[in-house]
């Protein structure tokens, strides 16, 4: 058994992946429920991916509206014959909330995708094209147009690989560019509105909240996936696990008195 060391790194992302995988493991051991469980996970992931696409669209459209329809600290909208003039800060703050939901969806997609990867590798561990087989288990987001193919007995010549992979990478960068510009557009307008003298209700608090939300969401993302130093949670091991599996008459053997003193000292 590998010796536990405090320097071992563990991220919150890995903790959530572990929780979800352990929760699904009893169903995966049952042959009648295994494929059904994988299908449920794929359906859950597909739902999150669809939501993420809608959020990306809403965020980019909001940024475009903020940058093209604003006049001072107000946003002018025209729907058919109806003309509206609303405080810009409300759209900026709404875009900030959409950004939170978008980053949250991205984390969830990666968590569920990681769990699915573990399960599929165990389910089809001897299969060359295990990932492709998942299309028959409900995977609607399988990347079939990517040039990054694996486990084939042949490969494209190096020169052609450079061209097609470069085109693919540039395509991904091109699709990401509007989101990056939308992010800085909303952030820039929020900073300006902090120092604006507009008369919108709660303009300054909402502007300050937007300026904090946008970058701190990315900071939280980094901290969530960052490896952190860990140590044993003795109270959870003793009282959350061992105390439920050890019969009462055997608990003194496991130093119940010392556990109680530790618990009282922490309180």
Q: What is the mean pLDDT of residues 206-221?
A: 93
Residue 34 CA to its chain's centroid (Å):
25
Percentage of the chain lying above the pLDDT 70 cut: 71
| Whole-number pLDDT of residue 5 | 46
Q: What is the mean pLDDT of residues 106-132?
A: 77
Q: What is the mean pLDDT of residues 8-33?
A: 82
Q: Which residues have C-beta within 8 Å of that of residue 215, sequence separation ≥ 6?
A: 187
Q: Is the pTM of this model over 0.85?
A: no
Q: What is the mean pLDDT of residues 83-95?
A: 86
Q: Where are the alpha helices (DSSP H) in the chain?
A: 12-28, 31-68, 88-123, 130-133, 158-194, 203-225, 234-235, 243-245, 256-266
Structure tokens at 266: 């922490």
Q: What is the DSSP letter of 241?
A: I
Q: Which residues have C-beta within 8 Å of that of residue 168, sequence separation ≥ 6?
A: 146, 147, 148
pLDDT band at 4 (very low <50, low <70, confident <90, very high): very low
pLDDT, one tens digit per residue, over 189-213 is: 999 888 876 666 788 889 999 999 9
| Whole-number pLDDT of residue 212 | 95
Give the integer Cα–Cα distance in Å for 246 and 114. Answer: 34
178 pLDDT above the threshold of 60: yes
Give the integer Cα–Cα distance in Å for 175 and 183. Answer: 14
pLDDT band at 188 (very low <50, low <70, confident <90, very high): very high
For the chain, what is the mean pLDDT?
Answer: 78
Beta-bridge mates of residue 79:
82
Q: What is the mean pLDDT of residues 9-37?
A: 82
| Whole-number pLDDT of residue 104 | 94
pLDDT, one tens digit per residue, over 128-145 is: 666 666 666 666 666 666
| Whole-number pLDDT of residue 267 | 47
Strands 70-71 and 228-229: unpaired
Beta-bridge mates of residue 9:
229
Angle, alpha carbons 225-165-50 (nearest 5°): 50
| Whole-number pLDDT of residue 255 | 58
pLDDT band at 179 (very low <50, low <70, confident <90, very high): very high
Give the integer Cα–Cα distance in Å for 101 and 213. Answer: 11
pLDDT band at 1 (very low <50, low <70, confident <90, very high): very low
| Whole-number pLDDT of residue 199 | 67
């Amino acid at each position: 058994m590998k010796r536990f060391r405090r320097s071992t790194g563990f991220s919150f992302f890995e903790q959530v992946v572990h929780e979800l995988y352990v929760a699904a493991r009893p169903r995966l051991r049952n042959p009648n429920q295994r494929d059904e469980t994988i299908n449920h996970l794929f359906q859950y992931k597909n739902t999150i991916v669809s939501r993420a696409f809608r959020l990306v669209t809403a965020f980019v459209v909001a940024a475009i509206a903020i940058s093209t329809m604003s006049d001072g600290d107000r946003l002018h909208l025209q729907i058919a014959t109806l003309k509206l003039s609303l405080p810009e800060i409300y759209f900026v703050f709404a875009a900030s909330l959409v950004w939170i939901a978008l980053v949250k969806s991205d984390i969830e997609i990666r968590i569920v995708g990681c769990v699915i990867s573990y399960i599929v590798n165990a389910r089809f561990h001897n299969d060359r094209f295990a990932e492709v087989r998942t299309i028959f288990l409900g995977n609607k987001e399988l990347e079939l147009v990517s040039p990054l193919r694996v486990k084939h007995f042949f490969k494209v010549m190096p020169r052609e690989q450079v061209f097609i992979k470069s085109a693919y990478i540039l395509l991904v960068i091109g699709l990401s560019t509007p989101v990056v510009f939308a992010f800085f557009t909303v952030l820039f307008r929020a900073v300006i509105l902090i120092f604006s003298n507009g008369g919108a209700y709660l303009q300054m608090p909402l502007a300050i909240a937007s300026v904090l939300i946008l970058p701190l969401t990315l900071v939280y993302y980094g901290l969530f996936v960052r490896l952190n130093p860990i140590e044993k949670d003795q109270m959870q091991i003793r009282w959350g696990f061992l105390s439920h599996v050890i019969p009462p008459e055997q608990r003194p053997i496991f130093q119940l008195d010392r556990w109680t003193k530790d618990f009282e000292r922490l309180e």
